[in-house]
Chain A
């Protein structure tokens, strides 16, 4: 994803949906566990989403250089895979609980409801940007004015109608026929990966032709990348300059909610062993390496041919490279990933209003996403939005890690809310809110230390994680005055 469509709560799988309602409040038993291969396809498919077509071009708009983008993506994706493998998977395969049940044990049900609201709202904005991406393909067919890089609000009636048509359609489908779209998404996934690859290959050849560079070997190709495609230099107006560190941290943290934030506890609780964490590499290096680079080549080509045309619109770029097949890819990539995202948002909101039917809640979530999709400012500032998304959900991941590995070693109680019978663990809530307050303040101050800005939104989650962890230990020490009288831990687990 990019944050993509991949996150908990997971929608029901297209097949085997009888499994989906099991083990929600108990550890996954051995008979239900899945091998390494089950996770490879899931991650490869879910991280090749419509938003990849925005993120790649935005790297170019941010003035990234060839070495910075290639090395940054290689390292950042590696760090993301390592985070899944060594932070998320060990806890998931030891506790074997969903994120929500795990959080409920630590934070209490009412705080988990608040978490659901934050999660649901972020899902809606994310789905909105996917609808935006799909609408750019419709614009190629109907030729209405489309938003530019600096636009925040809709700029034409045609744009509004296209987003409304796509958004309402996706919302109705998400609310009524989720499984059929999930089956279609399975069907489209391998084709989409290859069309993304085709974008890159065709764009590269067009660059070679347009620039007149003769490619005799790897050295010539590197020269082309360095001097023609990812040239570095100043970013486009309104964009933040991206260096190697920006790319690396963005690639690492764009799925922060899922690995460091622990959303994927819900996925890896089914893993037979910790090796399953390595399967995330399929999603990172297909979706967040190949697809981002391919999309960025298309945008760099557009700028090379016409420096005045700075609009990072996936529809026109895809049509230019691959014709109608490219346009179909843009629409399908946006649709198949917005659909589960809206479904997940509906699930998150339903926790707040359990008496309202899932159909109505999902439809409402879809309409909220459609409204967000009307505003291209979210998609045009997707790099910042994705970083913010990870930041908001990250503190809960730090709390889970501290609760699992550290508290008992300090003589404090794990799973405090459950054991103390609390509906709302103030130590966790304050850790979450104070961490966000400190991080937002650091971003706003935007201090420069030795010539670098270490507290931009792209980086601040790293110190933020340690702040959240430290705060939770400190506040638990203050608030767990009754820890000696608590009942036994309901889920002993194996923190070793």
Chain B
């Protein structure tokens, strides 16, 4: 489950940036920009949904711990 969610998450992450590269190579019309915005929104929602499942489901390695000296 986590492996699948992870792969889907990376797909959506790639889909967040891919439209911007496509736009850079396109003719840059308003219609194309609107299309890019829609794809970025869908990819954003997809990333948070799938990455949420993925990250909550796995044991993450520790990050640099914290200072609570106060």
Contacts and interface: CB of A to CB of B under 8 A. Distances in A.
Interface of A: 8-16, 19-22, 24-25, 32, 34, 38-39, 41-42, 98-101, 116, 183, 186-188, 190-191, 194-195, 197-198, 201-202, 204-206, 208-209, 266-267, 270, 322-326, 328, 347-348, 350-351
Contact of B36 (A10, A99, A202, A328): A202
A183 B48 CA distance: 12
B67 to A, nearest CB: 3
Contact of B70 (A100, A209, A323): A100
A205 B28 contact: yes
A105 to B, nearest CB: 12
Given A183-B55, A198-B17, A9 B67 contact: yes
Counting chain B residues whose Cβ lies within 8 A of the other chain, the interface size class is 35 or more
Contact of A191 (B19, B23, B47, B56): B47
B67 A194 contact: no
11 contacts: A15-B63, A24-B67, A34-B62, A38-B61, A98-B67, A99-B69, A116-B70, A197-B20, A202-B20, A208-B28, A324-B41
| List of 6 A-B pairs having minimum Cβ-Cβ separation, nearest first | A323-B37, A266-B67, A10-B66, A198-B20, A209-B28, A100-B69
B64 interface: yes
B13 A202 contact: no
A19 B28 contact: no
B24 interface: yes
Contact of A350 (B28, B34, B61, B70): B70
Given A187-B51, A187-B55, A205-B24, A325 B65 contact: no
Given A191-B16, A202-B20, A8 B37 contact: no
Which of B17, B33, B48, B70: most chain A Cβ within 10 A?
B70
Contacts of B60: 15, 186
B70 A194 contact: no
B7 interface: no
Contacts of B28: 205-206, 208-209
Contacts of A41: 63
Interface in B7-28: 13, 16-17, 19-21, 23-24, 26-28
A101 B67 CA distance: 10
Contacts of A9: 66-70
The DSSP consensus for interface residues of chain B is helix
A16 B16 contact: no
Given A187-B52, A191-B13, A198 B40 contact: yes
A191 B44 contact: yes
Given A100-B69, A198-B40, A325-B37, A15 B62 contact: yes
Given A15-B62, A190-B13, A191-B44, A347 B68 contact: yes
Contacts of A208: 28
Contacts of A266: 66-67, 69
B17 A197 contact: yes
B63 A201 contact: no
Contacts of B68: 9-10, 12, 20-21, 24, 347
Contacts of A12: 66, 68
A270 B65 contact: yes
Contacts of A322: 20, 36-37, 40
Given A15-B63, A19-B62, A267-B67, 16 more contacts: A9-B69, A9-B70, A12-B68, A20-B68, A34-B62, A41-B63, A99-B69, A188-B48, A195-B16, A202-B33, A205-B26, A206-B33, A266-B66, A323-B38, A325-B40, A351-B70
A201 B21 contact: yes
A201 B65 contact: no
Contact of A13 (B16, B27, B63): B63
B41 A325 contact: yes
B24 to A, nearest CB: 5
Contacts of B44: 191, 195, 325, 328
Contacts of A324: 37, 41
A233 to B, nearest CB: 26
A19 B66 contact: yes
Contacts of B20: 197-198, 201-202, 322
B41 A323 contact: yes
A24 B64 contact: no
A270 B64 contact: yes
